[in-house]
Structure 1
């Protein structure tokens, strides 16, 4: 017995250096079974099956070890009959799996929920759409932009706050508003502020949430989004990058994309007059001229609002926000706001980041920490090219030569005011 014990130790030492040696591990398991260490033999056979799941010798050895009596019994372990598949006849594999659960990981993981035929999951699961609870952001948190706030007040907020007057004048809570303008000017933030003012849930939708490779799934996703919003009413549905979700069907060659736009039109109309009551649809785009015209007909996204680069009060509020947690001294926000005319909110954030980077590098070089000053901020302003210029270059031609029905009158007025025509 001592000789066998020494051999077991030698085999274990050898396996420590070559754990994947199936032949060596089978030899160790056989020896453990002979010495009466059935549990250890089962464990070693299980490890063999981990590396070689179809190893018949390992399965046979495990069956013998689990059927063998303990070391206190004087009887030799009975050899079970072999089945045609190479395993032991009548062997309880479920019990064996339970015993080796901590040694061998499961080969297959069960799905938590059944999949649909197309592999996309349960199509009727409305909880798949993430609806944010009413937020704390209000229009008062949006600096400046008073004209935008006034339009929003007339379109959504005043009817919501005055239900008696709404009923008297027959004003429905249905409605859609299209926010358009250059990128980085706060369209998404304004949409969240509207939801906060209404005390409404917020459901943000992008093209990735809707489009699907399987035929019919994109339309179903669009329907489920609006069905969820109706259940969560009052709810603001924010359609981001509307030019991607509702592009002109005449320019779309793929039938699936055209069907998705058709489904969006159907959902905006509602099944009946009251279907979308309490569902407020806000959409945002940088390219309103690429949006399908049917989406902008009365009863759908029939009101448009131009969101321009922030005015002076808004720039001051944005700069204050991005500098609030940074070490600054003698910063004149009024002067800085004047110097940043034409910059978007994203540009202003980049100005603050660049100024902080300059101060950080100087502090690292000199070994002395210094504050961020006006010199850093004004230097960053000079280095930043307004990201809105490219957008205005494209929008200028559209406003001048494709302004059907006065759709872009507000944009023309702004371009004339800024002498960009």
Structure 2
């Protein structure tokens, strides 16, 4: 069988840039179109580790398992996929399916709502983060008269910041669940548009949708990309107007729209326009750090809970993963599952994920937050004159270097 030259080139590019999800999805499509379902399944597992719940990848996963079920025995090495495809798919898929119940918003609106079933009790560890959320947001909302007596308010925005992959989106969803509110997650790709004025309209409509569906936690991911310092945007008039629009919408929320709680997430708060940090906007910041041992155990358990496992010592793995983010731990679980799946495909017998699979995955994966801590160290040492990042400085002083 001749190799598709386009696929060959894409595989080479993917090897150099494994983090580019759209590229991996295209490779899966081409592998599936060529009947190479086993290889495509391996890429599906990796893609779902990068973006859990990605509907396009899940659909490709179903297509590939169905393709293997229909393939003649010689193609699959004698593996009876008619009987086993569901078992093998069950190893991979359940942990990546969102437990929430997303509902479409009105025609023309951006994004989808979720009504989270999780609360802060489902967040492992992170006791200091939970305490700050209770103090700065949940407490005033639950006790409005008391908050009024002390002259405090939960209005405005709250910014979650920290290394990538530590669960900022999960925390925001848990806050919505705690409040019994709709959860409206927005990424920068939901806002930016190539046409003049369209990005500003998108942003305005997002806030309008949140107001119409209050109580609502409006979660803006990658706020640093959206609300970048205008002094550094001299060559981009489009982005400057988007920042201005965001300022306007934040002021509008503060000015009388009840039931809309704006949470933002960023890896680089030092890149956010200072105007967005003023009172009534993102005037409160909470540092979300790497998971502690208790949190690591719960994260590992979560990512393995619906997969067949045998003899896995979560405590031992947690001890060996100091400095790993939640995303890193998910990657370990996904990689171990891939190893078990590959073994199942070779042998024709579905087996559980074992400690040996986890150890082999751990030997290949390193913590991903190192570069972030290098940037953060520079900020703490040279750009913390006003004490904004004192909490980060204390955390980095306590943190064991890796």
TM-score (norm 2): 0.69
CA contact (8 A) 1:126 1:228 kept: no
Q: How many residues are treated as equivalent by the alignment?
A: 296
CA contact (8 A) 1:355 1:372 kept: yes
Deviation of the 1:220 alpha carbon:
2.4
Determine if the alignment matches structure 1 residue 264 to structure 2 residue 246: yes
Partner of 1:255: 237
**SS of the residue 2:183 aligns to:** strand
Partner of 1:206: 187
Q: 2:295 aligns with which of 314, 332, 342?
A: 314
Partner of 1:152: 133
**SS of the residue 2:113 aligns to:** coil
Partner of 1:186: 167
Assess, with a 3 A threshold, how the Cα gap between structure 1 residues 371 and 210 changes in structure 2: closer, same or farther: closer
Aligned partners of 2:133, 2:311: CA distance in 1, in Å? 37
Deviation of the 1:293 alpha carbon:
1.2
Partner of 1:128: 109
**SS of the residue 1:270 aligns to:** helix
Q: 2:147 aligns with which of 166, 176, 194?
A: 166
Aligned partners of 1:206, 1:191: CA distance in 2, in Å? 13
**SS of the residue 1:220 aligns to:** helix
The CA RMSD measured in Å over matched residues stands at: 2.2
Structure with higher RCO (Cα < 8 A, 6+ apart):
2
Give CA-to-partner distance per residue, 1:307-327, whole Å, 9 cap, x none: 111111111011111111222
**SS of the residue 1:280 aligns to:** strand
Determine if the alignment matches structure 1 residue 239 to structure 2 residue 196: no
Determine if the alignment matches structure 1 residue 275 to structure 2 residue 256: yes
Partner of 2:265: 284
Partner of 1:56: none
CA contact (8 A) 2:166 2:290 kept: yes
CA contact (8 A) 2:159 2:265 kept: yes
Deviation of the 1:266 alpha carbon:
1.4
Deviation of the 1:420 alpha carbon:
4.0
**SS of the residue 1:137 aligns to:** coil
CA contact (8 A) 2:111 2:186 kept: no
Assess, with a 3 A threshold, how the Cα gap between structure 1 residues 148 and 362 changes in structure 2: closer, same or farther: same
Deviation of the 1:330 alpha carbon:
2.1
Assess, with a 3 A threshold, how the Cα gap between structure 1 residues 378 and 256 changes in structure 2: closer, same or farther: same
CA contact (8 A) 1:133 1:200 kept: no
Assess, with a 3 A threshold, how the Cα gap between structure 1 residues 373 and 212 changes in structure 2: closer, same or farther: closer
Deviation of the 1:299 alpha carbon:
1.8
Determine if the alignment matches structure 1 residue 409 to structure 2 residue 390: yes
Assess, with a 3 A threshold, how the Cα gap between structure 1 residues 207 and 364 changes in structure 2: closer, same or farther: closer
Q: 1:197 aligns with which of 164, 178, 181?
A: 178
**SS of the residue 1:304 aligns to:** strand
CA contact (8 A) 2:296 2:318 kept: yes
Aligned partners of 2:130, 2:116: CA distance in 1, in Å? 18
TM-score (norm 1): 0.66
